[in-house]
Chain A
Amino acid sequence: GENVEQHPSTLSVQEGDSAVIKCTYSDSASNYFPWYKQELGKRPQLIIDIRSNVGEKKDQRIAVTLNKTAKHFSLHITETQPEDSAVYFCAAMGGNNRLAFGKGNQVVVIP
């Protein structure tokens, strides 16, 4: 099955700086790559996603890039704010709708 890896595990950034989280996946048949944000004690919620026919997608301060050849995708958060502090999960979905997640990254925004 699909194997999704995330690096680094914890990321500390100064408020206003950018944060980048990278993920790799193993199944070349995967076609959908969502990113979820999970605040402490809450359920994961989608923040942005990208499909395999698109190389980059942006939504205000967040963006995702996808390199299908290299099988990696990244989340970019610009102008970080304290409310961006959370755990971020990347995921990959293949043709059978199996949705596999990475281990998550703790992002800490330092005021």
Chain B
Amino acid sequence: NAGVTQTPKFQVLKTGQSMTLQCAQDMNHNSMYWYRQDPGMGLRLIYYSASEGTTDKGEVPNGYNVSRLNKREFSLRLESAAPSQTSVYFCASSGQSYTEAFFGQGTRLTVV
């Protein structure tokens, strides 16, 4: 099992460009999450999906959109990247309620 796989690992964008971060899990998990990690700010929830077909806003959703394409895949889209979106992005997934969340390896995004 690969667990949670994120692509790409690194990305540099120019302000105003768009891109989609991909995330897939092979653990048959219902819930999937997108977080961003900035120094001193911890892991802030952007969006999450409690089950296939549902998505909900987290703490910092502005400037992002998500798609739960199927049970395995949960993508994060930046429509018009801004320097404030420079961060490390983590995708995670968890199974039944109140169980461990597994993280992908992260995407380091720089917006110039």
Contact = CB atoms under 8 A, between A and B. Distances in A.
Nearest to B33: A99
A97 B97 contact: yes
A46 B97 contact: no
Contacts of A97: 30-31, 48, 50, 94, 97
A45 B105 CA distance: 11
Interface in A78-111: 89, 91, 93, 95-104
A89 B103 contact: no
Contacts of A46: 100-101
A101 B41 CA distance: 10
| Range of interface residues on B (Cβ < 8 Å) | 20 to 34
A53 B98 CA distance: 12
A95 B48 contact: no
Contacts, number: 64
Given A31-B98, A98-B48, A103 B41 contact: yes
B44, B50, B99: most-surrounded residue (chain A CB, <10 A):
B99
B90 A1 contact: no
Contacts of B30: 97
A9 B40 CA distance: 9
A61 to B, nearest CB: 19
Interface string A25-36: 000000110100
B97 A101 contact: no
Contact of B43 (A9, A49, A98, A101): A101
Given A6-B42, A99-B48, 15 more contacts: A31-B97, A32-B97, A32-B99, A43-B90, A43-B103, A43-B105, A45-B103, A49-B100, A93-B97, A95-B97, A97-B50, A99-B31, A99-B101, A101-B45, A102-B42
Top 3 nearest A-B pairs by Cβ distance?
A103-B42, A32-B98, A101-B43
